[in-house]
C-alpha cells in the first residue's frame, strides 16, 4: 500500500481520493476550503494542515487544482511541494492547466531532482466516483511508467501521450471538443423542445443516432433525463462555468500560438464568459442552455 500526498479536494479530488482510500492506500489531503476537507475526510482521507504535511515522506504527490496559477503557487515558494517533498517522491499534476505552466513544472522539477508528469483526466465527477477516469500522461517514459501504478485505482484507461506536456495538450484539445459538443446538446435539446418533441424521447433518439456525444450522454442540460446531470440538481456545479471558460480559453490560446482558427471554440467561449459575467461562475457549465432561447431562459 502506498502513501499519497494530495492537494486539492474539490469536485474531482474528493471522489478520486475516496477511491484510493477504498483500495487501501493512505491519502494525506490538504485543501484551503474547510468543507472540501470535511468531505474528503468522510471519504477516508487523512486531513492535514498544510502542503508540507501532505507531501513529506509520501510515495507520490497529486495536485488537482483549478488553474495554472494555483498549481504554480502550490509547487513553488517556501511552503510548496518542491520545498518539502523528498526528491524520490513522484510528482503528478492532474489539473487542467496551460501548456506553459506544465512545461514550467517539468523544467523546475527536473532542475530540483524530481520526477514529474502531467496527467490530466477526463470523465467528470461521475467518472471520478466510478474510478473510470481516462488519464493522459506526459513525461519521461520511466516516470510515466511509474505513475501508472499510482493512477490505476482511479482510472478506467491510462494512456501514455508522449513527452513533457503531451498529456495536457491532449486534454486541452479534448475539452475544446467537449464544450463544443455541450453547445450542440444545449441547442439541440431546446430546438427539439420548441418543435414539440417529448424531451426524453428526443434524448433516446439522439442517444442511438449521430447526435450522440459524451456531453449529450452525461451532461444533458434538460431536467428529468439523466439523474447525475447538473440539470437535475438545480445546476449545482459538477463542472464550474469558470473552469469551462478557462478550458476553452486554453484551447484558443494554443490555437493562436500555433496558427489554428477555432471558430466553434470562440462561440463556446462567448457562452461561458456570459455565464461568468452574469455572476454564475460557480454554477454548472451546462447552464449555457439558458441562453439558447431569445428571452434567456431555457
Active site residues: 171
Distance, in Å, from the CA atom of 79 to the CA atom of 82, rounded to the nearest integer, reads: 9
Q: Residue 128 or 222: which CB sits closer to ligand NAD?
A: 128
Q: Residue 118 or 192: which CB sits closer to ligand NAD?
A: 118
Distance, in Å, from the CA atom of 271 to the CA atom of 78, rounded to the nearest integer, reads: 39
Tell me the closest approach of the beta carbon of residue 142 to ligand NAD, in angstroms: 25
Distance, in Å, from the CA atom of 192 to the CA atom of 188, rounded to the nearest integer, reads: 6
Burial class for 137, CB neighbours closer than 10 Å (0-12, 13-18, 19+): buried
Picking from 118, 121, 117, the residue whose alpha carbon sits closest to that of residue 157 is 121
Strand-pairing partners, residue 283, are 236
Tell me the closest approach of the beta carbon of residue 289 to ligand NAD, in angstroms: 17
User: How many CB atoms within 10 Å of residue 233?
Assistant: 13
Residue 120 phi, psi dihedral angles, 5° rounding = -70, 165
Tell me the closest approach of the beta carbon of residue 55 to ligand NAD, in angstroms: 12
- Per CB under 6 A, residues contacting ligand NAD are 7-13, 30-33, 36, 64-66, 70, 73-74, 95-96, 121-122, 124-125, 238-240, 243, 247
Tell me the closest approach of the beta carbon of residue 59 to ligand NAD, in angstroms: 20
Q: What is the DSSP string of 157-174?
A: EEEEEESTTHHHHHHHHH
Tell me the closest approach of the beta carbon of residue 191 to ligand NAD, in angstroms: 26
292, 298 Cβ separation under 8 angstroms: yes
Distance, in Å, from the CA atom of 269 to the CA atom of 146, rounded to the nearest integer, reads: 36
Q: Residue 74 or 147: which CB sits closer to ligand NAD?
A: 74
By three-state DSSP, how is residue 136 classified?
Answer: strand
Q: Residue 10 or 43: which CB sits closer to ligand NAD?
A: 10
Q: Residue 59 or 93: which CB sits closer to ligand NAD?
A: 93
- Closest residue (Cβ) to ligand NAD? 10
Amino acid at each position: 500500500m502506498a502513501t499519497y500526498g494530495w492537494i486539492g479536494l474539490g469536485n474531482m479530488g474528493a471522489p478520486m481520493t475516496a477511491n484510493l482510500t477504498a483500495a487501501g492506500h493512505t491519502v494525506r489531503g490538504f485543501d484551503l476550503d474547510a468543507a472540501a476537507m470535511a468531505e474528503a475526510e468522510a471519504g477516508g482521507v487523512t486531513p492535514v494542515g498544510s502542503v508540507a504535511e501532505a507531501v513529506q515522506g509520501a510515495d507520490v504527490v497529486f495536485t488537482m487544482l483549478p488553474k495554472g496559477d494555483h498549481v504554480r503557487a502550490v509547487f513553488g515558494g517556501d511552503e510548496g511541494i518542491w520545498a518539502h517533498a523528498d526528491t524520490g517522491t513522484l510528482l503528478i499534476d492532474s489539473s487542467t492547466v496551460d501548456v506553459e505552466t506544465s512545461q514550467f513544472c517539468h523544467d523546475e522539477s527536473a532542475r530540483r531532482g524530481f520526477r514529474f508528469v502531467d496527467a490530466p483526466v477526463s470523465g467528470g465527477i461521475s467518472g471520478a466516483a466510478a474510478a473510470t477516469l481516462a488519464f493522459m500522461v506526459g513525461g519521461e517514459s520511466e516516470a510515466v511508467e511509474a505513475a501508472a501504478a499510482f493512477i490505476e485505482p482511479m482510472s478506467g484507461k491510462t494512456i501514455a501521450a508522449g513527452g513533457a506536456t503531451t498529456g495536457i495538450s491532449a486534454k486541452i484539445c479534448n475539452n475544446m471538443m467537449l464544450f463544443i459538443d455541450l453547445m450542440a446538446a444545449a441547442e439541440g435539446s431546446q430546438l427539439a423542445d420548441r418543435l414539440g418533441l417529448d424531451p426524453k424521447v428526443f434524448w433516446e433518439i439522439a442517444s442511438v443516432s449521430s447526435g450522440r456525444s459524451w456531453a449529450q450522454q452525461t451532461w444533458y442540460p434538460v431536467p428529468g433525463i439523466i439523474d447525475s446531470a447538473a440539470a437535475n440538481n438545480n445546476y449545482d456545479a459538477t463542472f464550474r462555468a469558470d473552469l469551462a471558460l478557462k478550458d476553452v480559453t486554453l484551447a484558443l490560446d494554443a490555437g493562436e500560438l500555433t496558427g489554428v482558427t477555432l471558430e466553434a471554440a470562440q462561440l463556446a467561449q462567448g457562452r461561458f464568459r456570459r455565464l461568468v459575467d452574469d455572476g454564475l461562475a460557480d454554477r454548472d457549465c451546462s447552464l449555457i442552455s439558458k441562453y439558447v432561447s431569445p428571452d434567456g431562459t431555457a
